[in-house]
Every structure is written in C-alpha cells, then in structure tokens.
Chain A
C-alpha cells in the first residue's frame, strides 16, 4: 500500500474516480482456448489488466527430485511481460513474481485432483501482458479456467478477487490509483461452490469490522466472476448458441 490516505479517491456523491460504486467490479471478459500450442488456455481482461494462461501436461515430472510418488506437482509461473507496466520490467524472475507463483501453485493444488497423476507435473504459465492492479487475482482466476480447458480434473473452480480500503471506506476491486494510494488490500481465492478459501493475502490496515465487510464484498464478487468462467467454458464446449 502506498499509504497516502489523503488523496481523494471517492467523490462527494459516493462514486469512485472511475464512476464505480463501492462494491462494483471493473469490466471482465474471459475467453477459452486462445493459445493453439497449449493443451488448455485462457485469456482474461479485468479492467485494463490482461492475463493469458497456458496449461501443459500432465507430463513426467522433471527434474526427478520434484516428483511425488502419490500425486502430481503444479509447476506454476507468474510472469509480467517487460512492457506490461508503465516502467519497463527487466525480463526474468524477481522476488515478487516468485512469491506470487508459489502462492498461486498452492491455491491451484488445493482444487486440482493431483492424486490422479502420481509422479507427474502440470505446467501452468501465467503471462501478464498489461498490469493495472489486481494481476495476481486475474492470473489465478484465468489459470483455473485454463486448467478446466485442459481437461484437468478439479473438485471445484477457483475465483480470486480483492477488496480493500480507500479514504477509510471499504471497496471492492481496487484499480491502479486506488491500489497506489489506498490503505488496505485483501486478495482472496475462493472455491465458488463450497465457499472455502484456497488463497489469502492482505496488507495495509483493516479493523475487524472492515475485514468482515471486505470479505462480504469479495464473496459477492466470487459468484459474479464464477458465472463468467462457466459461460466462457460453455461457449467453447457447448457449441455456442445451440
């Protein structure tokens, strides 16, 4: 969090700078099967964010020391393209992308039926092409759809979304300005059917009451986003209108 609590982010009429209400998501689109070389893939735009995800496997796990005799491992990479932010990012891994890759892998391992593929690995490649706050949520949500597109058995979908606090008010889905000058950010990953939590991070400052409200906004958004995930998969696999 940037922590500049005095930057005006909510107008006097209660609207946010981009005209959204406190519990409104940015526009979201999801498309399935967009990368011909991949076994499963997904393109998601979320506000100005663009994420494209490719899934490969299950395949033999290499190097051998990462093999697990009773289950598959998920090899997840979250990567920001050099031109995805306002200042160019040097290619290659950094501490931030490594951490996000790790927590994303653990969240996805919680829904994939990994015990069906012992000694194998499933590769999930998340590429952020344009970043405007909320890329990890966008990446996780798109990765779950790409796994489904690849035909990987899963016990539930996974939706990731964040709520936060700006000008002492709890709001859903922070955009870039709100993220830079906001006071808190609470990204979660929720299984939309069981409502269990598979991914959770937070930074900033929230009272217990504010946390509860932020979680309430997140839960409501999960259902909205899950609908879009299902629609995207259906439009590929049910032959569109018919």
Chain B
C-alpha cells in the first residue's frame, strides 16, 4: 500500500511540539503502560506476551539439537527472528519478509546477542558433535507504535523463562536456560523537530528519523540503529542516550519482577 503521510498530521504534530505536547497527551519521555505475562504458550519452551499501549507482541523460545559449526565446535547458537505479519496492521502486506521486517529482527537480535546474556559455550552438549540451537521467534500481533521496544522486551523475557528440554531430546535433565543479563532497548523518534520516547502510531506516521538504543545491565551500549530519513546532532543524541539509561533501569525492573 502507498503510504501517504498526511500533511495535516505533520502540521498538528509540529504545532503540539512547539508547546512540548504530544498527540496522546504524554510527556516527551513518558512511556505508555506496559502489561507483561510470561509462560503463556504451552508448546514453547519459554514464552512471553507484552502489551505495550495498543501494541501486542508474543515471543516464544524453541530448542533443537544440531552439529556445531566447524570453527566453533563447542558453541551453540541463538537465532532471533521477528515477524511483521499482516495480522499486525493494515499497512503490512502478505508476502516475503519486507525490509522493515528484516530490520526489526536484526536490530532486536543484535541487542540480545551482543549483550552476552547467553554464554554460547553453555549450549554445548557434546563438543564437536551436538549443541543447542536456541530459536527466539517474536510475533507482532498488533502494531500501534514502537514495536521495536516491545519485541526486545518480549524477547528477553521469553529467554529468561526458557527451560532447555534436554529430557525430551534424551541428553540429560531439563534445566533453566542460563541468561545472566537483561538487555533493554529504548527507541526515540523525531517528531515536530525533537526526539520523543516510545512513539505511538501517529507519531511514527508523521515523524522523521528514529533511533534505537540497547543498553546492558551495567549501562553499556550493545546496539544502535538509526532508521528512516533525517539527521540529528550529537547533543540531541547525548540527551536521548542519557534518558535511555533511566528508561532501561525501569524496564529492567519489570522483567526482573516477572521472571524471579
């Protein structure tokens, strides 16, 4: 479908920005309400559902045994994919994965992978012979803005609750998947000339460039991505980077409370 950015919406967002207001009456760095559940899918070895405002995302973890790569004979692997299926919004068409869908999957994957939350060596069963392949699939059911953060949050929560099904594969006892860090993604979009946190659907439609920041437990940054047309200054980045630190801390608490 052709995306026609409504001129009127852009104007409205710009006018609101002049008074530092947002279209859904939030503060500039105010997050929408989050509701999270874990262990919601009985056929997945770990799962979560995140309701982030009107955005709804499921994540599920599946395990499979396979031969290790020859250059890393004692390492398992984590594969993260996020799907933007047409169920999620009118704007998504059926067919092979769109560039948007692939970007989403890869950005979420980088944040989780680079945080080192899973030691690949802990996924080894028999060195050189068999290792665990961890598949983290993220399914967007309703897109009302900021699916990136919702996907990242659902993803780490599902991993945190996952049980390695060793018994079913006849390679020992079931045990919890060791996940020792909680990477958190925070996304910002330029709306009406300044960055706002957690953009809603209208802000994404009438906004400019977006920036995704994934932070680890120690405040270190693990992945960055700038998307869409637009430029920003280092001062603008410094402001949202500092804010991301605060947001990440709050979100990490939500995950920790949920998966004790």
A residues sitting closer than 8 Å to B (CB atoms) are 34-38, 48, 50, 52, 54, 56, 59, 62, 75, 77, 79, 81-88, 91-92, 123, 125, 127, 129-132
Contact = CB atoms under 8 A, between A and B. Distances in A.
A85 to B, nearest CB: 6
Contact of A37 (B43, B89, B96, B135): B89
B34 interface: no
5 nearest A-B residue pairs (beta carbon):
A83-B60, A36-B54, A125-B87, A88-B62, A83-B44
A75 B47 CA distance: 30
Given A130-B41, A132-B43, A83 B141 contact: no
Contacts, number: 96
B90 interface: yes
A125 B90 CA distance: 11
Contacts of B56: 34-36
Interface string B68-107: 0000000000000101011111100010100000000000
A127 B141 contact: yes
Contact of B144 (A36, A56, A62, A83): A36
Given A35-B87, A84-B41, A86-B43, 4 more contacts: A34-B56, A37-B88, A75-B94, A81-B139
A35 B61 contact: no
Interface size for chain B: under 10, 10 to 19, 20 to 34, or 35 or more residues? 20 to 34
B163 to A, nearest CB: 13
8 contacts: A37-B55, A54-B141, A54-B142, A77-B87, A83-B44, A84-B41, A130-B44, A131-B43
Given A35-B56, A56-B90, A125 B137 contact: no
Most chain B C-beta atoms within 10 Å of own C-beta, residue among A75, A127, A129: A129
Most chain A C-beta atoms within 10 Å of own C-beta, residue among B42, B83, B89: B42
Contacts of A92: 96
A54 to B, nearest CB: 5
A5 B1 CA distance: 51
B58 interface: yes
B239 to A, nearest CB: 30
Nearest to A62: B1
B143 interface: yes
A88 B64 contact: yes
Contact of A83 (B1, B47, B142, B143): B47
A37 B83 contact: no
Contacts of A34: 56
A184 B127 CA distance: 45
Contacts of B137: 81-83, 88, 91
Nearest to A81: B139
Given A37-B144, A125-B86, A130 B43 contact: yes
Contacts of A52: 87, 141
A101 to B, nearest CB: 10
Nearest to B97: A91
A130 B137 CA distance: 13
Given A36-B142, A52-B141, A83-B60, A91 B42 contact: no
